[in-house]
Amino acid sequence: MARTCPSRVVLHRIGARWTVFVVNALEPGPKRFVELKTHIQGITPKVLTETLRTLERDGLVLRTDHEESPPRVEYELTALGRSLLEPLRAVRLWAEAHVPEIQAANAAAVARGR
Amino acid sequence: MARTCPSRVVLHRIGARWTVFVVNALEPGPKRFVELKTHIQGITPKVLTETLRTLERDGLVLRTDHEESPPRVEYELTALGRSLLEPLRAVRLWAEAHVPEIQAANAAAVARGR
DNA sequence: TAACGCGGTATCGAAAGCATACCGTGACGG
DNA sequence: CCGTCACGGTATGCTTTCGATACCGCGTTA
């Protein structure tokens, strides 16, 4: 668990606020910028751009500019990106399964006077 | 994938920078504040406190102040917290397995002139 | 009685996130 | 030919969070 441990860096990337949502959104297949933006409700274009650029640098996402008019840019998962889907699905399923417990815990904490 | 979707909130929590490390550090059993701080190299006391308080509110971690002298406070995972270990382990293993590919992708991106 | 260890706060500057507005290009309608 | 629109972003400014460093109150111990 040293600061320099590379897996720490990787986990830091994965832990970045929006990567999980972007990768999940790309699961069914390639998507365009605007599609991603509307699918992941609440993300701003700036943050989406940054997230996609980071994922591209890390080799998880492939960006294809078709150089057409009107512009068409598609983002899709690479093999590496798809390999991340399985562990992420486990986390997402956990989250969905345990939302009630967490909300109950929060409510209890508030009731105790937070 | 609405903004209000509770699983989004939960994933946001999990995505917080240090939760993964704290939960993993608590896997073997209860730990004291200083133990956690030295084990998770690089975390500052402030951030560790905040992370632990959040995990406590969410019902993932139990804080036990033994009211002794010298002070002894122990943190341990609840059943809910332990249930998170399995999905997190999957993500950690993925990270460890794919570090070389990600580093290679980064190096390639740099070589292309970033 | 002075120094130390524990479990934290306090303070301040840096970085990341977010909302909002805007832009260049080329298609398209009239 | 001229105004408008969609796409894929960028620019700007503000708020929240992160991070580094310093410090504190208490009780124990030397």
pLDDT tens series, chain B, 114 aa: 666 777 888 888 888 889 999 999 999 999 999 999 999 999 999 999 999 999 999 999 999 999 988 999 999 999 999 999 999 999 999 999 999 999 999 999 989 875
CA geometry: angle B38, B100, B89, nearest 5 deg: 50
Q: Centre a 10 Å sphere on the Cβ of residue A19 and count the other Cβ atoms it contains.
A: 21
Q: What is the structure's pLDDT at B1?
A: 61
Helix, strand or coil for residue A89?
A: helix
Which nucleotides of chain C are near protein (any atom < 7 Å from a CB)? 5-11, 16-21, 24-27
Residue A82 exposure: Cα atoms within 13 Å on the Cβ side: 10
Interatomic CA distance for residues B54 and B50, integer angstroms: 6
pLDDT score of B23: 96
Question: Please, what are the domains in chain B?
Answer: 6-82 (1.10.10.10)
Structure confidence at residue B2 (pLDDT): 67
pLDDT in tens, A13-29: 888 889 999 999 999 99
Q: Cβ of B70 < 7 Å from strand D?
A: yes
